[in-house]
Chains A and B, each alone.
Chain A
Amino acid sequence: MIQENLPAIFRDFNPLENKMLSLIDNDGEVVNPKYMPSLNDAIVIEAYKQMLYERIADEMAVSYQRQGRMYTYTPNLGQEAIHIAAGMHIREQDWLVPAFREMGTLLAKGVTMKEMFLFYLGNERGGSFQNANHTLPIAISIGTQLHHATGIGYSVKYRKKDEAVFTFIGDGGTSEGDFSEALNFAGVWQVPVVFTIQNNQYAISVPVRSQTKSINLAVKSVAFGIPGIKVDGNDFFAMYLAYQTAAAHALAGNGPVLIEAFTYRLGAHTTSDDPSKYRKKEEENEWGLTDPLLRLKRYMEKKGIFTIDEKKLTEEYKKEITGQFLDAEKNKAYPYDDVFDHMYTDMPDELKRQKAEYEEFLNWKENRR
């Protein structure tokens, strides 16, 4: 049953009819003026800057990994519009329950590139996001995080807090039982959670058509009685409108929302993966035309608001990000206390014993030199 107070976009872009919310085309032309959000120029410029920052940081991370200065990394290339549009709607008090490919959203929450680098250098201190309020660590175990988001939603509702929960999953993750369970729980409990499926067409090498027979992924919301919408994930304005609508819906106490952000992973799944094994160059090139940064830039140029000196800004960002990487590299050391000290709030005797025995060994090793 469709909710009476359902915002219009959920009716007009009914996933059962396989419609997709898209507002600007690849040339930056507005194709759906009725729904175009009226954003002031400063917000649009800021969005472009943030997308550019994420892209540069992401490319640099891949490069550091290639240089052997960082371990496995999960690139974000091509999905920046989703991350930045979401980030613009997550307030300080809202919760972010990430998967592992929404770097721009993490940055919006206050995570620094130093932390991101530290995490991919293999140090939990980076991935724990100490200074980002209400932000859970990166979830590697596919799909499990959606339950955490739903539980936080229950907690927020129970404690009557003005907080929304944003969580992410990939297209492959929708095949996990936890995906269906979490949407079901969230629907029954009517909790303020905005679920995003980043449908970037591949789960490592497996295409969406091998994950599901559904006509799209947003349609999965229908069975759980929650509103769902398929959105052009490479269209900043469409994503902005989707998050604006979804957050308002959730915060008004109307329950959860499912957004399918239809996008494409221009890079590899992780730096250990070679996409040429499972997809064609022509396909990548075709999707390249929908690049969210190019589209937004063309829109801005047409409107005469592309006042950014991109070359200069790129240099600035690179310098700043390099500084953060060097800082992370310098501080990646891992005292062995860190292995033991965070397992429990009060360390069990067995663990104390193991730690003490290891210390004895270290002392022996030290004195042997």
Chain B
Amino acid sequence: MSVMTMVKAINNALDIKLKEDSTVVIYGEDVGVEGGVFRVTEGLQKKYGVERVFDSPLAESGIVGTALGMAVSGLRPIVELQFEGFTFPAFNQIASNVSRIQNRSRGKFNVPMVIRFPYGGGINALEHHSDSPEALFAHIPGLKVVIPSTPYDAKGLMIAAIESNDPVIFMEPKRIYRAIKQEVPSEKYSLPLGKAKVIQEGSDVTVVAFGALIRECQKAIAMGEEAGISVELIDLRTIYPIDRETIRKSVRKTGRIVVVAEAHESFSVGSELIAIANEEAFLYLEAPPRRVMGFDTIVPLAQGEHYFIIHPDRIFYEIEKTFKF
């Protein structure tokens, strides 16, 4: 065991897989010499050489497209896209090929690759550095989409993502890259993809969140406890495949659901969760399902970002409203 940030925990997962599997290669912009702009790959090139951990030309479509070529020919590439806002040049490769080659080839070719990138707001960044595009990827058949909320989960989910024979979009909540420190086992372990985690049991309201918002929810839940509201908190951990079973059980128990996420509200993961709540627990509901999510606007730059970012008091406000409905 050692105390790790999420950056360190992901680095540790990559290190373990590089060591035990010679087909794993890592590349992207600045990931080699510099170790990535957030230092997630720091030290790995030195340890494993430039053939396995390297800087690529600055072209996201090329990074993802070439990784697909590697994945169908015996390698397990892990590519970093520098920020979520720069995934769009690669979107054609992801939506047109990465997610489809296995189906197109009737299973002749598998696509064991991981596309990882930091996402989300709250770091006073320039434009294109604060978005939460998980729904865009989760909507594409053929992909798995994973978002960790703690260093421990990040390591276990990353190991599982690398070992998956299907392509995985691994979104890293950059706001908590270094904000949470946690004891993480040094040895290898993996967490199953497609399974949510009940972080805290409760009886009045189900709150579903993921990534950096889990921590904000926990603060809101503490406010709720003071107000006598018992909240069950679910960390989705995998966006797709979504864990319908865990949502169903919880909402049938509490009769209320509040989804908390930073992405734009319309046509979002929140929309999907509420559809699931309605499909699976319609007769159990005691209040309308509620989304606490980003506006359908561009994430404002630093001076206006606090309006957009979801703070614990807003989450508490919505939990209480739902509870009192």
Contacts and interface: CB of A to CB of B under 8 A. Distances in A.
A330 interface: no
Give the bracket for the number of chain A residues in contact with chain B.
Answer: 35 or more
Contact of B244 (A124, A125, A342, A349): A349
Interface string A147-171: 1111111111011000000000000
A100 interface: no
A177 B61 contact: yes
B312 interface: no
Nearest to B25: A158
B109 interface: yes
28 contacts: A124-B104, A129-B105, A129-B108, A136-B105, A141-B92, A147-B66, A147-B69, A147-B93, A148-B72, A148-B97, A151-B71, A151-B77, A152-B70, A153-B69, A159-B74, A177-B61, A178-B92, A181-B61, A181-B65, A182-B65, A185-B62, A344-B102, A344-B166, A345-B107, A345-B165, A346-B166, A349-B245, A351-B241
A350 interface: yes
B56 interface: yes
A343 interface: yes
A84 B42 CA distance: 48
A338 B104 CA distance: 11
Contacts of A97: 69
B69 A152 contact: yes
Contacts of B51: 158
Interface string A333-364: 00000100111111011110100000000000
Contacts of B75: 154-155, 158-159
A95 interface: yes
Interface in A83-129: 95, 97, 124-125, 127-129
A345 B112 CA distance: 10
A154 B101 CA distance: 19
A348 B102 contact: no
Contacts of B73: 95, 134, 151-152, 155-156
B69 A150 contact: yes
A342 B107 contact: yes
A345 B141 CA distance: 13
A338 B109 CA distance: 16
A153 to B, nearest CB: 7
A144 interface: yes
Contacts, number: 146
A141 to B, nearest CB: 4
A169 B164 CA distance: 31
B259 interface: no
A192 B59 CA distance: 20
A146 B59 CA distance: 14
B110 interface: yes
Give the dominant DSSP class at A's interface. helix
B31 to A, nearest CB: 15
A137 B66 contact: no
Given A148-B97, A150-B69, A349-B241, A184 B57 contact: yes
A63 interface: no
Interface string B64-91: 1111111111110100000000000100
A212 interface: no
A182 B62 contact: yes
A155 B74 contact: yes
Contacts of A342: 102-103, 105-107
A223 interface: no
A345 B102 contact: yes
A130 interface: yes
A188 interface: yes
Contacts of A154: 66, 69-70, 75
Nearest to B109: A136
The 7 tightest CB contacts between A and B, nearest first, are A151-B69, A147-B65, A348-B241, A151-B66, A181-B62, A148-B69, A128-B106
B255 interface: no
B96 A141 contact: yes
B160 to A, nearest CB: 12
B242 interface: yes
A185 B104 contact: no
B142 interface: yes
Contacts of A182: 62, 65-66
Contacts of B323: none
Interface string B213-244: 00000000000000000000000000011101
Given A136-B105, A137-B105, A158-B51, A144 B93 contact: yes
Nearest to B167: A344
A127 B72 contact: no
Contacts of B102: 342-345
A152 B67 CA distance: 8
A150 B110 CA distance: 18
Contacts of A128: 104-108
Interface in B126-147: 141-142, 144
B3 to A, nearest CB: 34
A349 B247 CA distance: 14
Interface string A65-90: 00000000000000000000000000
Given A137-B101, A144-B97, A350 B241 contact: yes
Nearest to B71: A151
Contacts of A149: 69
Nearest to B65: A147
B57 A188 contact: yes
Nearest to A141: B96
B61 A124 contact: no
A205 B21 CA distance: 49
B194 interface: yes
A246 to B, nearest CB: 19
Contacts of B107: 128, 341-342, 345
Nearest to A350: B241
A134 to B, nearest CB: 8
